[in-house]
Amino acid sequence: MNDRFNQLLKQVEEETNAEYQDESRRKRRLYNEILLPKFAELIVWECIGIVEGISPGYKDYRDQIEDAFRRDCVEEIKQHFGVEE
């Protein structure tokens, strides 16, 4: 997990802090350190799957260009969020 995940986690904590004031410290730690980051990672992988599955169906050189662009997008998403297979 990279800094962007941590920034998003802090944002979620700030926006939802009131909701979790009554939660026990242990439950909140479990949520923040394990569940939320894993949830975020799964969302990133879903997005990667969508990008990988996009196919305009060209039958000429444009298909190769689109394929290269999709690969570049997937790599950018992985690097931005620091996820690995």
Q: What is the pLDDT of residue 70?
A: 92
d(CA 79, CA 74): 9
Alpha helices in 25-60 (DSSP H): 25-30, 36-53
Q: What is the pLDDT of residue 21?
A: 56
C-alpha to C-alpha distances, 51 to 4, 6, 30, 62, 73, nearest whole angstrom: 20, 24, 31, 17, 7
Structure confidence by residue, pLDDT tens digits, 8-35 = 777 777 776 655 555 676 777 777 777 7
What pTM does this model have?
0.65
CA atoms within 13 A on the CB side of 26: 0
The token duo for 46 is: 């879903």
Backbone torsions φ then ψ of 57, nearest 5 degrees: 75, 25
